[in-house]
Amino acid sequence: MKPSTPQPPSVSPVLELRQISQSFGTQGVLREVTVKVQRGETLALIGESGCGKSVTTKLLAGLLDPTRGEVLWEGRPVKGRASSELRRDRLRFGYLFQGAALFDSMNVYENICFGLRENTDLKEPEIREIVLERLREVGLAANVAEKRPADLSGGMKKRVGLARALAMSPDVIFYDEPTTGLDPVMSDVINELILQTQSRRNVTSVVVTHDMQTVRRVADRVVMLYPLGRVAPGMPQVIFEGTPDEAFASEDPRVGCFVRGEAGARLKEMSAA
């Protein structure tokens, strides 16, 4: 497990959700959730499918407007910012999507340089240098640049997705299920790349994952959400916040059973329903 990255208490979190509630129509997803992400740390968001992890990351990235509550970047509310300021600030974020989400109609080179072409005035030789450097950074050869996503393995797609996320030299990277669908060896490769990226660039990272090996390997801190439909009125939806070691030692059966992959408590809950 990586060492923790303590922050002075006077430093505002890079990203913060304050008392956030989120609904889509009549379907509630989050209720009064508060999450802080400190500069330079790697925060793992865990919890059962449908508990609101991906929605939480979209709120942190300013891709969704909350139903209630406040989103802050470096201590300043996101709401009320001019659209030009929002666009500029979002360029500080990189996003590795679940399944990589590469553009099928483009080759690897065009996928990685997409953001550079859309948002910078760099000349093509400069763009090419950045693309090839990002490929090297994720352990891929230069000739991969001419391949189509359909020609890549799952692990290669993830690494190309990471190269694309890194192309704009972001300050914050969101990883959405970075090891899903990968074999154990390639999962460890992705985990190592997350660690290397944090070490080399001192980025702030938010990792949504069900993979507890990823949590142990890369996370400084863990936040666990519980599905809103199973949270009693007046009880918090964030049921754990602490280090990976503390998560695995938790006496809360909802936390302990989840991180250890044990079905006992959940089966009892289902049978009592």
Residue 163 and residue 140 in contact, taking contact as beta carbons nearer than 8 Å: yes
Strand 172-176 to 204-208 pairing: parallel
CA distance 196 to 185: 16
Ordered by start, the domain boundaries in the chain are 12-92+172-181+203-273, 99-169
CA distance 124 to 4: 40
Q: What is the pLDDT of residue 269?
A: 62
Q: b/e string for 251-268 if b means 16 or more Cβ within 10 A?
A: eeebbbbbbeeeeeeeee
Residue 114 and residue 104 in contact, taking contact as beta carbons nearer than 8 Å: no
Q: What is the pLDDT of residue 100?
A: 72
* E strand or H helix at 95: strand 93-96
Strand 42-46 to 172-176 pairing: unpaired
Q: What is the pLDDT of residue 43?
A: 97
Kindly report the length of the chain: 273
Residue 43: phi and psi, rounded to 5, are -100, 125
- CATH code of the domain made up of 12-92+172-181+203-273: 3.40.50.300
Stretches where the chain sits below pLDDT 50 are: 9-10
Q: What is the pLDDT of residue 10?
A: 47
CA distance 141 to 241: 40
CA distance 46 to 222: 7
Nearest CA to 225 out of 39, 73, 31, 63 is that of 31
Residue 90: phi and psi, rounded to 5, are -65, -20
